[in-house]
Structure 1
C-alpha cells in the first residue's frame, strides 16, 4: 500500500476512477480531497494516471480547471498547440472553452491536483498515433 501512496503522490492514490473510465485510455485513480458541500462550487481531487494513461480531449464550461502537478511526469496539451511536459511543481491554468487533455508519459506514473469549477464536455479520445508522437519532435 505504501507503494500505491507513493505513486499517487502526497495525497494518495485513491480508488480506481470507474465513474469516468469511459473518458480515459488506461487506468486512472481519483481521490476527492474536499467533501461535497453545497456552499463550495469547485471540485478538488488528486488524479493519478498509470503510465500511458490519458484522458480524452475535453472542454470546461462555466468555469475553469487548475492543475497542480504533485508526482511523476505527464503531458498537457491544448488543441492546435504543442504538448507541454509536466513535472512536480508545475501548474496549469485552463480557461473555460479551451479544448485540451492531460495524462501520464508512457514510462511514468503521473499525479496532479485538479481544481475544477463548472461542467466538463468530454470529446474524442487522444489517439494512439497522437500520443505516440509526443516527445519525438
Structure 2
C-alpha cells in the first residue's frame, strides 16, 4: 500500500455520508466554497470510486478535477481509463458520462470544481463494476 495517507494542503473533511450511496468504498468531502463556483476537496480511500455519473447542462456546466495527491483514475464512457496523479487536470464537459476514484493501492485526492452553467443537474448512474475496476493496474 502507498505511504500516502490522503493528506494534502486542504483538510480531508468528514466522511462523505451525503453522497455515500453513489460511491463504492469510503470517501471524504470538505466543501472549500459553495459561493460563486462550488469547490470540494474530495478524498478517496484506496479502491474507492464514485458511480458513473453525468453533469448535465443546457449551456456551460461540467466539472474540472484538480488532482492534489495520490493515484487515481478517470474514465469516460466508451473510452479507456486515464491514470491520474498529483498535478493532473481533468476537464469534464457537460453531458459526458464518466467516473473517477482511487487506485486499488493508493489514496487519491482531487478538488472538484463545478463549472457554472444553465440548467445544470447531476445524474447518478450505475456503480463501476468490480469486474471493470479490477482490470485496472
TM-score normalised by structure 1 residue count: 0.89
Judging by fraction of residues, say which structure has more helix: 1
Match in the other structure for 2:86: 88
Residue in 2 that maps onto 1:97: 95
How far is 1:119 from its partner?
2.1
**What are the ranges of 5 or more consecutive residues in structure 1 without an aligned counterpart?**
none
Q: How far did 1:7 drift? A: 1.6
For residue 122 of structure 1, the aligned residue among 108, 121, 124 is 124
Tell me the distance in 1 between the aligned counterparts of 2:130 and 2:27: 17
1:77 matched residue in structure 2: 75
Cα distance in 2 between the residues matched to 1:8 and 1:49: 11
Cα offset, 1:134, TM superposition: 1.0
Query: How big is the shift at 1:56?
Result: 0.1
Conserved? CA contact 1:50–1:104, under 8 Å: yes
Aligned counterparts of 1:58 and 1:128: Cα–Cα separation in 2: 17
Number of the residue aligned with 1:65: 63
- The number of residues matched between the two structures is 128
Q: In angstroms, what is the RMSD of aligned CA positions?
A: 1.6
SS of the residue 1:73 aligns to = strand
Pick the aligned partner of 2:47 from 45, 52, 59.
52
| Kept in 2: contact 1:8–1:14 (CA 8 A) | no
Alignment correspondent of 1:7: 6
Which whole-Å CA distance do the structure 2 matches of 1:67 and 1:49 have between them? 13
